[in-house]
Chain A
């Protein structure tokens, strides 16, 4: 049962343009959502998160949007840089729970 879904396995973007990574979830109990970035042979690193009481959270070039009615969130990277090339995981959980559930990941390629 995939509670967190990232339907695009890969995305290619030109340097300087916007990267938009999408994520859908099915569990209505989720009340926090996160994005992680992962380079090959390394552990994922936390990027940005959003609580269900918000619909937008911004941190520098990274912005996460949450649409609760659609059970959808997205990560925007503006402007995209070659160093952003990595696998991005969407994750979710709920307050009081102990588990963070991850999606399958989207591999982002930023071309110089």
Chain B
């Protein structure tokens, strides 16, 4: 069965510092991968998605970037964090080869920017 690992689970960073959140997927190949963010009191906002190695689509102009160096690895980065980057970041993969919207999520990474 599919498993998604995210790390770190919790991160406290000062404003202006860099960020790297990692996500790896097991149990599937060539998945579509997604980064979502849940800010305090808000829903799940789609940040990036990737349909293959090196292919990144950005949904929201912001201070973040994403990369997919390997088939089952997805990385979220920032060069300089803002206070507004605080939130709960979720990596997700869709189940199966056809996008039916059914996503499988990792455990999440909670980022607090101070």
A residues in contact (CB < 8 Å) with B: 6, 32-34, 36, 41-46, 49, 89, 91-93, 95-105
Task: Say yes or no: B51 contacts A44, CB within 8 Å.
Answer: no
Q: Which residues in window 28-45 of B have CB below 8 A to A?
A: 32, 34, 36, 42-45
B residues in contact (CB < 8 Å) with A: 4, 32, 34, 36, 42-46, 49, 51, 57, 59, 88, 90, 92, 94-95, 99-108, 110
Interface of chain B, helix or strand or loop or mixed?
Answer: strand
Task: Say yes or no: A43 contacts B101, CB within 8 Å.
Answer: no
In angstroms, Cα B104 to Cα A28, docked, is: 25
Task: Say yes or no: B107 contacts A97, CB within 8 Å.
Answer: no
Task: Say yes or no: B43 contacts A100, CB within 8 Å.
Answer: no
What total count of A-B pairs have CB within 8 Å? 66
Taking a contact as CB atoms closer than 8 A, the residue among B46, B90, B104 that contacts A46 in the complex is B104
In angstroms, Cα B113 to Cα A56, docked, is: 43
- Collect the chain B residues with CB atoms within 8 Å of residue A44's CB: 44, 90, 103, 105
In angstroms, Cα B102 to Cα A41, docked, is: 20
Task: Say yes or no: A41 contacts B110, CB within 8 Å.
Answer: yes
Task: Say yes or no: B107 contacts A101, CB within 8 Å.
Answer: no
In angstroms, Cα B99 to Cα A32, docked, is: 10
Task: Say yes or no: B101 contacts A34, CB within 8 Å.
Answer: yes
Contact flag A41-B108 (CB < 8 Å), given A6-B43, A98-B51, A99-B49: yes
CB nearest neighbor in A for B94:
A100
- Collect the chain B residues with CB atoms within 8 Å of residue A46's CB: 95, 102-104
CB nearest neighbor in A for B10:
A41
Task: Say yes or no: A104 contacts B42, CB within 8 Å.
Answer: yes
CB nearest neighbor in A for B49:
A98
